[in-house]
């Protein structure tokens, strides 16, 4: 297994399946009265969050605790940018605490890479979302959810059609999903206004479209991305929230365009009424709450595979 | 002030001027006294003999774009440390950029920098004056006062910031005509580059780093060559980084307009691929571009569309680079590696011969900056400003071994060809055997 998980591209087909298969086994645990496994007893997992993210932090905390790891949560919001303690000094502090794994969320793209490659920490680094770069465990939990609904809970996503809609330009979720879902054989289409597709997207292993209605009939799952309100009128990426919602939001009418088996996903937190209507968010084919539950299992799998392989392993 | 002594007469034996036929050069009293057999015949007793067989002699290099950081950021570089680095890199004159603290926007500040350079004595320091007060882009600085000062400023630049206001740029171009000045533009359309972190392209999209599109440079270059033509003034474009800018410059030159341009060594060698490491050693403004841009820049330097190599030597303290990419400072060291990078990118590839290197790194930058006594032919009667280069030697760049106070070289661990063996400033060796030899004290032969 790999030593760090920094990008969804770090996982090849075999490794990605191994994470998903392990997560499936661990999910079964959640139904037992005692949810804890002794696997990581005595290991220290640090949650290093430079940016607020209650759901991701709690999800990782729960995952580490269910594997019996000691969990330290370090909220260092804005520390580097605001010229407080630097990333390096924070990392050296964690190193002194003997962290076996550092789960890092940071507002700057590449910060987890810096931690992993600088020699400041010895432990495994897990990217829990960096700037507008990647969020690989989110992609893994999305893949896990897709597999349960579209592929019988086993194997890969060969030929499954996934449409990702919204602010791809600023979305780490979209980047990681484009990479991982393609690795798993899915056909990914990104739908966004042209201003919210990154330059160079034609080199990604995906199709792109500006037309949501035209894409929906040909999809097995649609994943709505959160649209940051400040990207709108003030940011100049689109004229208004209303127009965005009309052209790229999903509502009851657009649900009708989807095939009957298709599911609706959202990484959360949602802007109800902007990219997704309340009706769709609460629809029976919306799997948004299940995504959260699957997140814990997938993160358990990641921690288990990274840490159980790290002792005596020479693989980098 | 100490009374300067005459430099030790030096006889350079068997050197190849501009890579040509081996000859001897006799340096006496600040000048090249004689060459060839005459040099040997005229060498006074006690002259220092330098066996330069196989080495190349070039006129001392002239840098149009150096950040010496003094006054204000003496933790990153000082005039003393920066000019030591310059001498080791083969430079005999550097232009000190204006974005210091306080900004070099008055006669007082440019005279201070000029005086610090004279006192250090490792190479001539020509201060660049800011175009606008405080580099704020609001109103013209006292360009005339700086031109008339002891520092005799001829190059004006808000480098680090673009003079983005078209009217202000027009007025600056017009105004400097009165004293034969030149406006050196940092071409960067500010609105198109808000928060920009790296070249905008496939990689910026993948890495999630905000893009710095080529068009932001090219739009300003296009506007400014038209403005320079319109008002009949001299424009110099700093650190050209894109193939598109090269095309615009080629067109402007074909019109006969007084437009010149520089390229940095790092833009001749490095590409945006390096950003995949997220190592801020590779974060610079303008950003490293694509391999196609590098090819276009090399071709443009070879055919003269780009006139000069300028280092954009930009020292930063360790803590400003030892952090995440977005928080890091932009810029890289350049003085001590420039000649090696040019040899690697231009000479060893056959794009430029040593006469061409002398032209692009000494003669033309001296002409653009209106610097007298530098960039001259290596013949009797000319000032003895020259560099001796062992082109067959190679080295592994180690930041810890650089003379600069800062360590932010992008070439750490890289093998580069060529080694500056000696540098002479008006006949005095500032560098001998690849090490600092001695400074030329203030006041000699200005």
CA separation for the pair B113, A136 (Å, rounded): 51
Q: Do A114 and B207 touch (CB under 8 A)?
A: no
If one counts every other C-beta atom within 10 angstroms of the C-beta of residue A3, the result is 17
Task: Give me B320's structure tokens.
Answer: 């400003």
Tokens of B13: 């034996």
> How far is Cα A263 from Cα A157, in angstroms, rounded to an integer?
14
**Cα nearest neighbour of B195 on chain A:** A108
In the predicted model, what is the mean pLDDT of residues A152-180?
A: 97
Arithmetic mean of pLDDT, A91-99: 89
Phi–psi pair at B430, nearest 5 degrees: -85, -25
Helical axes A54-66 vs A288-308, angle rounded to 10°: 50
The candidate with the shortest Cα–Cα distance to B66, out of B192, B181, B155, B174, is: B155
Pinpoint the alpha helices (H) of chain A: 13-29, 54-66, 87-97, 111-117, 136-150, 172-183, 212-216, 241-248, 252-257, 278-281, 288-308
Nearest to B259 by CA among B300, B315, B203: B300
Predicted local confidence at residue A311, as pLDDT: 46
Phi/psi for A12 (5° steps) reads: -85, 180
pLDDT of residue A308: 84
**Cross-chain CB nearest to B208 (options A81, A109, A203):** A109
Cβ neighbours of residue B318 under 8 Å, at least 6 residues apart? Answer: B406, B407, B408
All residues at 6 or more sequence positions from B431 whose CB lies less than 8 Å from its CB, including other chains:
B87, B88, B90, B420, B421, B422, B423, B437
- Residue A131 has its nearest CB partner, among B203, B205, B208, at B208
Find residues 42-81 of chain A whose CB sits inside 8 Å of chain B: 80-81
Partner-chain contact B206 A175, CB within 8 Å: yes
Q: Give the per-residue pLDDT at B444.
A: 43
In whole angstroms, give the CA distance from residue A111 to residue A108. Answer: 6
More confident residue, A97 or A151: A151
Which residues on chain B are in Cβ contact (under 8 Å) with A200?
Answer: 201-206
Query: Chain B: nearest CA to A200, how far in angstroms?
Result: 4
Q: Is A215 exposed, middle or buried (0-12, 13-18, 19+ CB in 10 A)?
A: buried
- Could you tell me how far CA B147 lies from the centroid of its own chain? 20
Residues 6+ apart with CB under 8 A from A25: none
User: What letter does residue B149 receive in the DSSP assignment?
Assistant: S
DSSP codes of every residue in A160-223: -EEEEES--TT-HHHHHHHHHHHHTT-EEEEE--GGGS-TTGGGSSSEEES-HHHHHTT-SEEE
- Contact at 8 Å (CB) between A169 and A132? yes
Contacts (Cβ under 8 Å, ≥6 apart) of B216: B188, B189, B192, B193, B196
Q: Which residue of A has its CA nearest to B213?
A: A199
Judge contact between B183 and B156, C-beta under 8 A: yes
For the stretch A199-237, pLDDT in tens is 999 999 999 999 999 999 999 999 999 997 766 666 889
- In 3D space, the residue among A130, A78, A132 whose CA is nearest the CA of residue A102 turns out to be A130
In chain A, what residues touch B292 (CB-CB under 8 Å)?
none
How confident is the model at residue B443, as a pLDDT?
45
Pair B165, B153: CB distance under 8 Å = no
User: Taking an 8 Å Cβ-Cβ cutoff, which residues of chain B contact chain A?
Assistant: 197, 200-211, 213, 277-279, 319, 322-327
Looking at residue B1, its pLDDT comes to: 42
A136 alpha-carbon distance from chain centroid: 5
Chain mean pLDDT for chain A: 91
Q: Specify the DSSP class assigned to residue B6.
A: P
Helices (H), B308-351: 338-342
Q: Sort out which chain B residues have CB atoms less than 8 A from A114's CB and list them.
A: 278-279, 323-325
Taking residue A313's Cβ as centre, other Cβ atoms within 10 Å add up to: 11
Residues of B acting as catalytic residues: 312
* Residues in A 117-156 with any Cβ partner in B closer than 8 A: 117-118, 130-134
Do B325 and A108 count as a contact with CB atoms less than 8 A apart? yes
Residues 164-203 of A with CB under 8 A from B: 172, 175, 198-201, 203
Token pair 């999305």: residue: A142
Q: Extract the residue ranges of chain B whose pLDDT is less than 50.
A: 1-2, 443-446
Q: What sections of B208-353 are H helices per DSSP?
A: 214-231, 243-254, 265-269, 291-303, 338-342
Q: Which residues of A touch B207 (CB under 8 A)?
A: 109-110, 133
At A51, the pLDDT band (50, 70, 90 cuts) reads: confident
The pLDDT assigned to A31 comes to: 79
Among A117, A175, A201, select the one facing B208 at the smallest CB separation.
A175
Helices (H) and strands (E) in chain B, counts: 13, 19
Cα distances from A314 to residues A1, A103, A124, B317, in angstroms, run 10, 21, 13, 35
HEC readout, A25-94: HHHHHCCCCCCCCCCCCCCEEEEEECCCCHHHHHHHHHHHHHCCCEEEEEECCCCCCCCCCCHHHHHHHH
Interface contact B209-A111, CB threshold 8 A: no
Q: How far apart are CA B5 and CA B426, in angstroms?
A: 12
pTM, entire model: 0.94
Count Cβ–Cβ pairs < 8 Å, chain A vs chain B. 82
* Minimal Cβ distance to B326: which of A108, A134, A172: A108
Chain A residues within 8 A of B203 when measuring between CB atoms: 200
* Torsion sign (Cα): A251, A257, A263, A268: negative
Q: How many CB atoms lie within 10 A of CB B95?
A: 27
DSSP single-letter state for residue B130:
P
Q: What is the pLDDT of residues A267-302, one digit of tens each?
A: 989 999 999 999 999 999 999 999 999 999 999 999
CA distance B321 to B279: 8
Cβ-defined contact of A200 to B204 (cutoff 8 Å): yes
Give pLDDT, residue A84: 60
> Do B327 and A81 count as a contact with CB atoms less than 8 A apart?
yes
Our CA-based measurement puts residue A296 at a distance from the nearest CA of chain B, in whole angstroms, of: 26
B207/A200 Cβ within 8 A? no
A195 closest CA partner among A233, A237, A132: A237
Distance to chain B for A22, nearest Cα, Å: 28
pLDDT digits (tens, 9 = 90+) for A227-265: 977 666 668 899 999 999 999 999 999 999 999 999 999
**Tokens (6 digits) for B115:** 């005086």
Q: What is the pLDDT of residue A77?
A: 67
The region, left, alpha or beta by phi > 0 then psi within -120 to 50, assigned to residue B418 is left
User: Whose structure tokens read 């005596």?
Assistant: A312
The helix (run of H) or strand (run of E) holding residue B16 is: strand B10-17
A83: CB partners within 8 A, 6+ apart = none
Alpha carbon distance B161, B113 (integer Å): 20
Is beta strand A263-265 parallel, antiparallel or unpaired with respect to A187-191?
Answer: unpaired
**Which residues, 6 or more positions from A289, have their beta carbon under 8 angstroms from its beta carbon?**
none
- Mutant choice from A9, A84, A114, A180 vs B, greatest count of B C-beta within 10 A: A114
Q: Are strands B182-185 and B155-156 parallel, antiparallel or unpaired?
A: parallel
Euclidean distance between CA atoms B282 and B271, whole angstroms: 9
């Amino acid at each position: 297994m790999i030593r760090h998980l920094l990008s969804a591209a770090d996982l090849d087909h075999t490794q990605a399946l191994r994470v998903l298969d392990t997560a499936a086994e661990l999910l079964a645990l959640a139904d037992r009265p005692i949810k804890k496994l002794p696997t990581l007893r005595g290991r220290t997992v640090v949650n290093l969050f430079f940016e607020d993210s209650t759901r991701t932090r709690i999800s990782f905390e729960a995952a580490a605790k269910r594997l019996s790891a000691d969990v330290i949560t370090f909220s260092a919001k804005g520390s580097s940018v605001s010229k407080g303690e630097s990333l390096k000094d924070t990392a050296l502090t964690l190193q002194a605490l003997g962290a076996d794994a550092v789960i890092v969320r940071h507002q700057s793209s590449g910060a987890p890479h810096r931690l992993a490659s600088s020699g400041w920490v010895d432990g495994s680094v897990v990217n829990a979302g960096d700037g507008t770069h990647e969020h690989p465990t989110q992609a893994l939990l999305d893949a896990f959810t897709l597999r349960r609904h579209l592929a019988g809970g086993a194997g890969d996503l060969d030929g499954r059609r996934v449409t990702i809609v919204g602010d791809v330009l600023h979305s780490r979720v979209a980047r990681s999903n484009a990479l991982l879902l393609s690795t798993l054989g899915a056909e990914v289409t990104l739908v966004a206004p042209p201003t919210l597709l990154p330059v160079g997207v034609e080199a990604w292993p995906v199709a792109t479209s500006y037309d949501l209605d035209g894409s929906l009939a040909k999809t097995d799952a649609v994943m709505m991305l959160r649209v940051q309100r400040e990207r709108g009128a003030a940011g100049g990426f689109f004229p208004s929230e209303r127009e965005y919602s009309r052209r790229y939001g999903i509502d009851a009418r657009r649900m009708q365009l989807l095939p009957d088996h298709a599911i609706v996903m959202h990484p959360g937190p949602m802007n109800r009424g902007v990219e997704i209507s309340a009706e769709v968010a609460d629809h029976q084919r919306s799997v948004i709450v299940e995504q959260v539950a699957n997140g814990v299992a997938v993160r358990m799998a990641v921690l288990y595979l990274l840490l159980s392989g790290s002792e005596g392993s020479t693989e980098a | 002030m100490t009374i300067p002594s005459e430099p030790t007469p030096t006889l350079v034996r068997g050197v190849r001027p501009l890579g040509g036929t081996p000859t001897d050069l006799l340096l006496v009293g600040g000048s090249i006294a004689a060459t060839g057999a005459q040099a040997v015949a005229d060498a006074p007793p006690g002259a220092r003999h330098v066996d330069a067989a196989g080495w190349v002699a070039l006129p001392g290099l002239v840098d149009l774009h150096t950040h010496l950081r003094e006054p204000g950021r003496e933790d990153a570089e000082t005039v003393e440390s920066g000019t030591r680095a310059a001498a080791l890199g083969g430079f005999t004159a550097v232009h000190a950029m204006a974005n210091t603290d306080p900004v070099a926007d008055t006669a007082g500040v440019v005279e201070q920098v000029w005086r610090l350079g004279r006192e250090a004595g490792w190479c001539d320091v020509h201060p660049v004056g800011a175009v606008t007060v405080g580099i704020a882009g609001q109103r013209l600085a006292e360009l005339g006062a700086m031109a008339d000062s002891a520092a005799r400023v001829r190059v004006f630049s808000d480098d680090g910031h673009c003079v983005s206001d078209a009217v202000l740029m027009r007025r600056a171009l017009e105004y400097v005509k009165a004293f034969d000045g030149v406006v050196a533009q940092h071409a960067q359309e500010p609105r198109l580059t808000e928060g920009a972190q790296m070249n905008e392209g496939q990689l910026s999209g993948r890495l999630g780093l905000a893009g710095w599109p080529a068009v932001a440079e090219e739009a300003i270059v296009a506007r400014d060559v038209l403005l320079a033509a319109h008002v009949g003034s001299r424009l110099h474009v700093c650190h050209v980084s894109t193939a598109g800018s090269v095309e615009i410059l080629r067109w402007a030159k074909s019109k006969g307009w007084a437009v010149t341009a520089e390229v940095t060594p790092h833009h001749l060698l490095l590409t945006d691929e390096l950003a995949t490491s997220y190592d801020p050693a590779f974060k610079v403004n303008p950003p490293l571009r694509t391999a196609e841009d590098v090819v276009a820049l090399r071709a443009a330097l070879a055919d003269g569309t780009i006139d000069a190599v300028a280092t954009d030597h930009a020292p930063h303290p360790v803590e400003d680079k030892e952090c995440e990419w977005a928080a890091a400072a932009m810029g890289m060291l350049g003085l001590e590696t420039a000649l090696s990078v040019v040899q690697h990118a231009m000479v060893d590839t056959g794009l430029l011969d040593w006469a061409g290197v002398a032209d692009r790194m000494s003669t033309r930058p001296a002409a653009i900056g209106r610097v007298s006594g530098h960039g001259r032919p290596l013949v009797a009667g000319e000032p003895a400003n020259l560099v001796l280069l062992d082109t067959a030697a190679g080295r592994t760049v180690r930041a810890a071994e650089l003379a600069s106070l800062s360590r932010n070289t992008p070439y750490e661990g890289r093998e580069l060809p060529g080694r500056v063996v000696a540098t002479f400033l008006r006949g005095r060796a500032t560098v001998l055997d690849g090490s600092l030899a001695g400074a030329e004290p203030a006041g000699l032969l200005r």
